[in-house]
Chain A
Amino acid sequence: MSSTRTLPWVEVRPTSGRIRRRGLGRRDTLVGFLFLSPLLVGLLVFRFYGFGYNVWLSFRKAGAFGPTTFNGLDNYAELLSDSQFSVALVNTFKFCVLVVPAVAIVSLLCATLMQHRFRGETAFRVVVFLPAVCLPTAMIFAFGWLFQTQYGLVNAAIQRLGASPVSWLGSSAGVAVVVTVVVVYLSFSVPTIILYAGMQDIPTEVYEASMLDGAGPVRRYFSITLPLLGPSLFFVLLTTTIGVLKLFDVVYLLLPPEQSISVNYGMTVLYYYYQLAFLGVGQRGYAAAISLVLFVLILVVSLIMFQLQRRFVHYGEDS
C-alpha cells in the first residue's frame, strides 16, 4: 500500500481536500456496514425471519415434513384445554418459586463468606467455581445417581438415620427437591461472583460511619450491604428467573421422555415444546404456539421484575 503513494495520481488527491474528506466519510460508512453485515445478516435470518416463521407456523397445522395447512387460532385454543400444557406451566412456575430464592440465598452466603479474609481463600473460590465449569450433563447424572432410589447415597443415608427411603424421581415433591438442588448447584457460581464484586464496590466509609453510630455486624449487613447490593441482586434474580423459565437439560436428563409416568413430575414448558416439536407427529405448529407463549411469559416476567426494581432497588446518585 505505501508504495502506491509515490504514484502520481495519489499525489494529486490531497489538493482537493474537501472532496477527499467527504469521500472518506462515505467510505467509512461503507466499511462500517461491511463490518456489521455478518451480524446483521445472521440476525435477519435466525432472529427476525426465525421469529416471523415461528409466528406463521403457530397458525398452522404442521408436521416435520410435508405441507402445512392454515388452522387459524386452533393451536392457541388447544393450549387452553391442554392439561399437559398446564402441568408444564405449573411445574415451571413451581421450579421458579423454589430455585430463584434458593440461588439468591446460597450465592449471598458464598459471596459473604468470600468477603472475609481467611486462609484457603483461593481454594474456596476455586471450589465455588467448579460447578460453573463442570459439564452440566455429567453433574446432572451425578445427582441422578446420588438420588437413585435403590442404590443411591442419599437414600442410604436416610435409611441409616432410620427413616424410610424416598422415591426421589417417582413423586412430585421428590422431583421438586432434586430439580431445585441440581439447578441451584449448577447455577449459583456466577451469581456468587457478581454479588461478591458488588460487595467490593460498597465504599468502606459507609461501614465506618455506621460503626461509629454503633451498628452491629448483623444490622450493618441488613441495612447497608443488602440495600446497596440492590442492582447486583436484581441482575442475579432476573437472570436466574429467565434461566429457570426455560429449564430443559436437568429435567430432560433426570426424567427421560421414555418414562411416561414420572416425566410429568418435572415436565417444563421448554421440555414439552421439545417433545411436541421433535418427538411428536404433526404437532410442530402447536409447538410453535407454545414457544411464543414461553416468549411472552419471559417478556412479561422480565417487565414485571423491571417495574419492581424501579420501586425497590436503589441505584447510587451517579447512575
Chain B
Amino acid sequence: MPLRVRGLSYLLVAVVGLVILAPFAWMVITALMTTAQTLQIPPSPIPSPLSLDGAQQVLQKLPFLRLLGNTIVVSIGRAVVTLIICSLAAYALAIIKVRGARLILLVVLTLIMVPGDIFIIPSFSIVSALHLTNTLVALVLPNVFDVFGVFLLYQFFRGIPRELVEAARIDGASHARILFTIVVPVSRSGLSALAILTVLNEWKELLWPIVVNRDVDRLTLGPGIALLRGTAVTDWNVLMSAGVMAALPMILIFLVLQRNFVASFVTSGLK
C-alpha cells in the first residue's frame, strides 16, 4: 500500500475511533462530576474535584442492585429457555424431519419478517389474563418463542452428518439423548451465537418492559435507569453515573468474550 494511502487510513481509523469513544468518555467524565459542575458554562472537560455524588444518588433513587440482579436473571433465563425451545424445534425439523417440516419452516421464515412490536397489545392481554404482569416471567414470556433462533439452529443442525445420528439410533439412543450428547456439542458455535444474540436483545428491550411491568423492582437495567430521567430538571451527573454503572457489566463481558460476540454478529447475517 502506498504510504499516502496508509497514512490516510490511519487518520480515518483514529477519527472514527475517537468519534465512537467520545460519547462514552463524556458519559464517564460527567458521571464523576457534581451536579454543580455539570451546570458550568462553558463546560469544563475535567471534573475537579472528582466526585461520586452521582453514583451515590443513583443508589438512593433506584434499587440498582435489584435491577442488576433482575437483568442477570432475566437474560440468563431468556437465553436458556430460548435455547431449549429452539433446539428442540430445530432438532424435530432438521434431524427427525417430521411430516410437515417444510410447512413449519415456511411459517417460521414468514414470522421472522413480522416484527414483534406490533403484538404489544395482544401480548399484554395474554400476560394479564395469565396474571403475570409485574413479574420477571412476563418480561421474557412472549420472546422465548424465537423463530429466528429456530431458523439459525436449523441451519446448524442440518449440517450434522446423517451417519452420526443414525449410528446413535442403531445403538438405541433416544432422540433426547442424541440431541444433548451429539447435536448440541457439535453445534456449540451456533448455540453460543444464539445465546449471545438473545442476551443482547433482552439488553435492548424497552417498550415491552415499560408496558408490562410497572414496579421498578420488576424491571431490568435499561428501562430501570430510564425512570431517572426527570420531567423538569435532570441531574446529568446522576443520569450519566447510572448509564456508566448499567452499561459496564455488558462491556466487561464483551471485552472478555470478544471473539464469540463478533462470531455471533456474523451469524446473525446468515441467510
Contact = CB atoms under 8 A, between A and B. Distances in A.
Contacts of B27: 138-139, 142, 145
Contacts of B182: none
Interface of A: 1, 28-29, 31-33, 35-36, 38-40, 42-43, 45-47, 49-51, 53-54, 57, 109-110, 113, 116, 118, 120, 123-139, 141-143, 145-146, 148, 150-153, 156, 159-160, 185, 189-190, 193-194, 197, 217, 231-232, 235-236, 242, 246, 248-249, 252-253, 256, 258, 270, 273-274, 277-278, 284, 287-288, 291-292, 294-295, 298-299, 302
Contacts of B40: 151
Contact of A46 (B142, B174, B240): B142
Question: Chain B, interface size: which category?
Answer: 35 or more
A20 B235 CA distance: 73
A309 B170 CA distance: 47
B158 to A, nearest CB: 15
A159 B99 CA distance: 69
Contact of A256 (B24, B113, B114, B231): B231
Contacts, number: 269
18 contacts: A40-B89, A42-B144, A43-B107, A46-B119, A53-B125, A54-B118, A113-B16, A129-B265, A133-B203, A135-B250, A138-B27, A142-B243, A145-B236, A156-B41, A235-B269, A253-B226, A253-B229, A299-B113
Interface of B: 1, 5-6, 9-10, 12-13, 16-17, 20-21, 23-24, 26-27, 30, 38-43, 84-86, 88-89, 91-93, 96-99, 104, 107, 111, 113-115, 117-123, 125-126, 141-142, 144-145, 147, 150, 172, 174-176, 200, 203-204, 206-207, 211, 221-223, 225-226, 229, 231, 236, 239-240, 242-244, 246-247, 250-251, 253-255, 258, 261-262, 265-266, 268-269, 271
Given A133-B261, A139-B243, A270-B117, 19 more contacts: A29-B99, A35-B92, A39-B85, A43-B107, A46-B141, A54-B118, A54-B122, A109-B12, A118-B13, A125-B262, A129-B265, A134-B24, A137-B206, A141-B229, A142-B23, A156-B42, A189-B265, A194-B266, A246-B115
A295 B145 contact: no
B2 to A, nearest CB: 9
B261 to A, nearest CB: 7
B92 to A, nearest CB: 4
A291 B258 contact: no
Nearest to A188: B20
In the A-B complex, the 7 residue pairs with the closest CB atoms: A42-B145, A138-B243, A32-B98, A50-B122, A194-B269, A35-B88, A35-B92
A159 B41 CA distance: 11
B69 to A, nearest CB: 16
Given A135-B243, A137-B226, A146 B26 contact: yes
Contacts of A132: 200, 265
Contacts of B242: 138, 141
B121 A277 contact: yes
A156 B141 CA distance: 46
A118 B244 contact: no
**Could you say which of B40, B98, B211 has the most chain A C-beta atoms within 10 Å of its C-beta?**
B98
Contact of A131 (B20, B120, B126): B20
**Could you say which of A32, A130, A298 has the most chain B C-beta atoms within 10 Å of its C-beta?**
A32
B268 A127 contact: no
B239 A109 contact: no
A270 B117 CA distance: 8
B265 A190 contact: yes
